[in-house]
Amino acid sequence: MASGSVPSFTFQAYGEDNPRQVSGSGSSSRHLSDSESEICPTTKSLARLCSRDKDERATALEKLSEKILVRLELDRTGSARLSKQTLLHLLRLSRSCPLQEVRMRATELLCIAQEEGIEVPRALASGPSAFIPAKEMLIEGLNQDILVESFLSLGRVDHLTMVMALHPSYLSCFLRTQHALFELDGPLPRDWRHYISIMAAARHHCSYMVQQHSKAFLEAGGDESWLSGIKHAPVKLRSLHTLNKLLAHRPWLITQQHIQELVCAGAEPRWSLAELIHAVILMAHTHSLCSFVWACGLNPEPDHIGGHTFHPPSPSHIPRSPHSPAHEDGRQELVDGAVEVEVLMKRMVELQQQQEEEECTQEEMVTRFERQRSESIPTAVVRGAPPELVLCLVEEPEFRYEDFAPRGEQSPSPMRAQDYSWEDHGFSLVQRLLPDMGQFLDEEFQVVSNLTYNRMAMHEDVDTYTLRKALWNYIHCLYGIRYDDYDYGSVNVLLERSLKVFVKTMACHPEQTTARIYHAFWRHFRHSEKVHANLIVMEARLQAALLYTLRSITAYIK
């Protein structure tokens, strides 16, 4: 479903550049003292820079420029300085602002500062993703329009938004859900919402998401000491630990007992059902988003730790993203990729014809499901230890994903979609406990399920429904969810092994995703098509995790 226009969404801009939060690395230099005069834009001045009125934006930009130039003039006598936070703010605007006049002015101001002897930061990455060439995202057209809308509404355009902007209709509904979860009135305080997401992101060693939410946590008035370790957080937040680890790695193990321990009358501290459902959605939302971040190879933001340096570039060393080794290109690979597309196209047509002509028995359908869920699919090598800013926020880091149905082992019974589904059960429960959130989530699921551009690689006018359905159902199969009316033999026909390795890694071990497995599948497809697949996997994972928890909440209520 390609959107022909950019839907409007109106949010309040976050208060950027809270002086308590300083990220990045750098040596001691003229700009690093926190006691120095700070000219970084306040929430109010940021809002003016994001005004929809072009003249007001131009005036705000001029005033910002004048302030910085005055500081640079005064700096010659040492009476004032440019702070590190201001320089990082300019770096971010120069790299990611979709408004050309703002981007160019920020670049110009950094150049002037450098000429005046100020050590200025430079971004370590050339674009938002280590996997996707920047030129494929930073282009004019429909996705550029939604990036402008995002900047005017939110005050910044991050790497996550840039990649999602390849699919504007999805991005617009995603941003509405994100805003509802973190900004609209609800049972949880805003700083707690971000801290819960920090706890969730840490389970997948996702430094990108931890830093994003740490910044927002402080801007919401959060206690900075909580970021130095989970032990500093309130007991009530820490009581989410078991639910958090199960949601992240083995949601099928969540039971009514886990819910009862948090919400029953004798629980101390006690969660209300509304608070708990909000926390559960925050955790599941963040876990699935970590899958997307890793699967798209997102680079740190320019103002993140690891996203910039104050040292000049070394001619003998080009920084490499930790995501992966270089991708091996070659003519033979392109030829093989083209052949794979033709084979997949043929299989899709044959499968559709076969399903119209043949009818499997229910026993055969169950057998094919069991065969699929017990299939051995290896994942990538385990990464090294996560950075300390992540590790200090994780309890039981050794608790990881295990297959729902390991070979030769007794496994729990699958969840039959006919017994508990989002449409018939989960949606209404969320709507009742957290009004409107069910609607936001349902819109996400609907948009990603129907999203299609009727093309595949170099082919146009292609019905990709069977392929999209196979991806969704394969992820649910990995999580032990079975659809009685779906033929799981289709999964092996449509999903090549390299694609299975990628999506299983993304859904189950996202921190192990590498460029090698990203580039190994669909070698002749557009990067936007791979991002489309990532969106399907992300949303399928989110729904699967929610279903197990919502089923347990339903059992408790009854």
Tally the residues of the chain: 558
Shared domain check, 187 and 69: no
Shared domain check, 138 and 115: no
Q: Considering the domain boundaries, does residue 196 fall inside one?
A: yes
Strand ranges in 287-330 using DSSP code E only, listed in sequence order: 308-309
Q: Given 80, 98, 123, which residue is the final one in a domain?
A: 123
The percent of residues above 90 in pLDDT, for the chain, comes to 57
Amino acid identity of residue 291, one-letter, is: S
Backbone angles phi, psi at 456, to 5 degrees: -150, 115
- Rounded to whole angstroms, how far apart are CA atoms 521 and 501? 9
Contact in structure between 430 and 281 (CB atoms under 8 Å): yes
Buried b (16+ CB within 10 A) or exposed e, 366-398: eebbbebbbbeeebbeeeeebeebbeebbeeee
Shared domain check, 497 and 436: yes
Higher-confidence residue of 490 and 24: namely 490
Shared domain check, 94 and 169: no
Shared domain check, 164 and 298: yes
Provide the pLDDT for residue 378.
64
- Rounded to whole angstroms, how far apart are CA atoms 225 and 161? 29
**Taking each helix axis from N to C terminus, what angle separates 527-557 and 497-508, rounded to the nearest 10 degrees?**
50
pLDDT, one tens digit per residue, over 491-507 is 988 999 999 999 999 99
The CB density around residue 138, as the number of other CB atoms within 10 Å, is 17
Provide the pLDDT for residue 371.
67
Q: Given 68, 88, 123, which residue is the final one in a domain?
A: 123
Shared domain check, 151 and 187: yes
Buried b (16+ CB within 10 A) or exposed e, 221-250: ebeeebbeebeebeebbebbbbbbbbbbbb
pLDDT, one tens digit per residue, over 199-243 is 999 999 999 999 999 999 999 999 999 999 999 999 999 999 999
pLDDT, one tens digit per residue, over 424-452 is 999 999 999 999 999 999 999 999 999 99
Residue 318 has pLDDT above 50, yes or no: no
Higher-confidence residue of 49 and 279: namely 279
* Residue 482, H or E segment: strand 481-482
Q: Considering the domain boundaries, does residue 315 fall inside one?
A: no
Shared domain check, 429 and 402: yes
Q: Given 100, 123, 146, which residue is the final one in a domain?
A: 123
Q: Considering the domain boundaries, does residue 345 fall inside one?
A: yes
Provide the pLDDT for residue 312.
76
The answer to which of 103-107, 290-294, 458-462 has the lowest mean pLDDT is 458-462
Shared domain check, 230 and 88: no
pLDDT, one tens digit per residue, over 378-402 is 665 556 667 788 989 999 988 988 8
Q: Considering the domain boundaries, does residue 443 fall inside one?
A: yes
**Domains contained in the chain, number:** 2
Could you tell me the end-to-end alpha-carbon distance of the chain, in angstroms, rounded to an integer? 39
65 lies in which domain range? Answer: 42-123
Q: Considering the domain boundaries, does residue 28 fall inside one?
A: no
Shared domain check, 206 and 93: no
Q: Considering the domain boundaries, does residue 543 fall inside one?
A: yes
Q: What radius of gyration, in Å, describes the C-alpha atoms of the chain?
A: 24
**134: confidence class by pLDDT, cuts 50, 70, 90:** confident
Q: Considering the domain boundaries, does residue 128 fall inside one?
A: no
Shared domain check, 535 and 470: yes
Shared domain check, 527 and 452: yes
Provide the pLDDT for residue 28.
35
The answer to which of 95-99, 119-123, 136-140, 399-403 has the lowest mean pLDDT is 136-140
Residue 104 has pLDDT above 90, yes or no: yes
The percent of residues above 70 in pLDDT, for the chain, comes to 78
Provide the pLDDT for residue 366.
72
Higher-confidence residue of 291 and 56: namely 291
Shared domain check, 178 and 51: no
Q: Considering the domain boundaries, does residue 54 fall inside one?
A: yes
Active-site residues: which are they? Answer: 206
Contact in structure between 82 and 31 (CB atoms under 8 Å): yes
